[in-house]
Each structure stands twice: as structure tokens, then as C-alpha cells.
Amino acid sequence: MKHDLVVGGSGMLAGLCKALAARGRTVSVVGRTRWKLDKLASAGGGLIHPLIVDYRFADRVPAEVEAAVARHGPIERVVCWTHEEVSTSAPLQFGGYASTGFLHVMGSAAADPAAPSKLQGWRDQFSLAYPALPYRAVVLGFVQDAAIGHARWLTHEEISAGVKRALDSNELLSIVGKVEPWSSRP
Ligand SMILES: NC(=O)c1ccc[n+]([C@@H]2O[C@H](COP(=O)([O-])OP(=O)(O)OC[C@H]3O[C@@H](n4cnc5c(N)ncnc54)[C@H](OP(=O)(O)O)[C@@H]3O)[C@@H](O)[C@H]2O)c1
């Protein structure tokens, strides 16, 4: 069974989860809210499985993820969208379950020229913790929208499609939309 784990997959990454399931992959999706996960699972042809756990409580994560592994097989890839302001350890914790790759989804702040070490900091932490695990990052940028005459943030569809492209590629760093010039962001 080809099994992916999508952390924070029931919001803007719901389209990604559905696309992976449409490709025949088994997808475990981490979130806290039962109805959001059930709604997503109902669109997954039996391949999308809710994994209800709050990653702020790190001690609760292993039992839930290990139960998903017992049910659906070892996890190959982890796609991880977490809120760093509530947990700085969650990406590394979920990274421990990936066997073939980890894709770190980051907000546009990761491209802020005023904080250039953010991405490298994560890369360093992962290579120390999991030297054999391919670590890749995807940064969510913005769109210069000619139709509305100014820049705007990405839609959920654009985010899911862009993260899927990043997952399919071997790029160490992918950008969805654009992040330059930084001063043009919405
Ligand atoms: N550059 C851009 O264009 C850009 C970048 C980032 C965000 N955004 C926008 O900002 C909006 C809000 O962002 P958002 O972060 O709320 O994204 P979201 O993807 O809509 O929701 C967050 C996801 O993480 C889960 N989650 C959150 N906290 C959790 C926790 N403690 N434990 C387990 N799961 C947790 C949520 O499930 P539960 O709610 O069930 O916990 C949900 O699946 C997005 O919808 C997007 O439109 C745009």
C-alpha cells in the first residue's frame, strides 16, 4: 500500500489529499476536527483516513500515527503544514515516520529577506535528525493578479496544486506563485 501522511490536510490542502487518493495512494490526514476530516474522507474513495490528533500535545502523536501505520502500512511520504507559533517540534516529530521523503509546507514568511536563515535552519535540523531522509520545502507565495490589478494570496486550489507539483518534483525548494519582489506581497 502506498501510504502518505498529510499533516494539516483538511483545510487548504484538502485538494492535495483528494488528488493523491485519486492516484490510488492511501492518505492519512492529521487534523483536530472530526467533521472536516470525515467530509474529506467521504471524497476519497475509501483511501483517505482521518487521523485525529492535536500536534500541540506531542505525547499523543505517536499512538495515533502508529495506529494508522498498523492499519494502512508504513508511511512513505509526509507532507507537513503546521503552525510554528503553536508547535516548533511537530515537523520533526512527524518527519520520524517518513521513509522516502518529507515535504515541508511553509508560509510566505519563509521567503522574508529579513529572515534568511529560516529555511536553512529547518534543513539543518532535519539533516541532523534524519540524515537519510530527503527533505524538501515548498513556500506559499502570492499572485500578481492582472484581472484585479494587484497582488493577492493564493487560493486553496492554487495551494493544493502547487504543493502537489512540489511533491512530484525533486526540487529541494519549490515556490507556489511568487515571493519576489517581497515588497509586492498583498
Ligand atoms: N501564501 C498564501 O497564499 C497562504 C499561506 C498560508 C495560508 N494561507 C491562507 O490562510 C488560511 C488559513 O490558514 P490555516 O493554517 O488555517 O490553513 P488550513 O489549511 O485551512 O487549516 C489548517 C490545517 O491544519 C490543521 N490543524 C491546525 N492546527 C492543528 C493542530 N494543533 N493539530 C492538528 N491539526 C491542526 C487544521 O485542522 P483542524 O482545523 O481540524 O485542526 C487544518 O487541517 C488558509 O486557508 C489559506 O487560504 C495562504
Mean pLDDT calculated for residue range 175-182: 94
112 pLDDT higher than 90: no
Give the mean model confidence (pLDDT) for residues 21-29: 98
Question: CB of 88 closer than 6 A to ligand 1?
Answer: no
Cell of 107: 508560509
Domains annotated for the chain, with CATH where assigned, are 3-184 (3.40.50.720)
Task: Determine whether the shortest distance from the Cβ of 118 to ligand 1 is under 6 A.
Answer: no
What is the model's pLDDT at position 145? 87
pLDDT tens for residues 85-109?
A: 888 999 999 999 999 999 999 999 8
pTM for this entry: 0.97
Please report the atom of ligand 1 found closest to the CA of residue 86.
31
* CA–CA separation, 18 and 163 (whole Å): 13
CA distances from 186 to 127, 132, 150, 153 (A): 33, 38, 8, 7
pLDDT for res 87? 85
| Strand bridging mode 173-176 / 135-140 | parallel
pLDDT for residue 90: 97
Whether pLDDT at 51 is above 80: yes
Which amino acid, one-letter code, is at 5? L
Distance set, CA 5 to CA 72, 119, 143, 183 (Å): 11, 22, 28, 34
Cβ neighbours, 10 Å, residue 183:
6
Ligand 1 centre from 153 Cα, in Å? 14
Q: Which of 5, 7, 12, 175 to mutate to test the pocket of ligand 1 (most atoms within 8 A of CB)?
A: 12
Rounded Cα–Cα distance for residues 126 and 133 (Å): 8
* Closest C-alpha among 29, 30, 81 to residue 57: 30
Strand 142-145 to strand 150-153: parallel, antiparallel, or no bridges (unpaired)? antiparallel
What is the distance in A from the centroid of ligand 1 to the CA of 40?
Answer: 14
Banded model confidence at residue 64, pLDDT cuts 50, 70, 90: very high
How much distance in Å is there from the Cα of 107 to the middle of ligand 1?
A: 10
Q: Supply the mean pLDDT for the chain.
A: 96
* The pLDDT of residue 139 is above 90: yes
Residue 114 has pLDDT above 80, yes or no: no
Question: Whose C-alpha lies nearest to ligand 1, atom 18?
Answer: 11
pLDDT at 47 over 90: yes
Determine whether the shortest distance from the Cβ of 160 to ligand 1 is under 6 A.
no
For 54, 55, 114, 138, 153, the CA distances from 36, given in Å and listed in that order, are: 14, 16, 36, 24, 23
CA–CA dist 134, 107 (Å, integer): 20
Would you place residue 35 in the very low, low, confident or very high pLDDT band (cuts 50, 70, 90)? very high
Judge if the beta carbon of residue 55 lies within 6 A of ligand 1. yes
* Percent of the residues in the chain that have a pLDDT greater than 90, as a whole number: 87
Residue 128: pLDDT band by 50, 70, 90 thresholds? very high
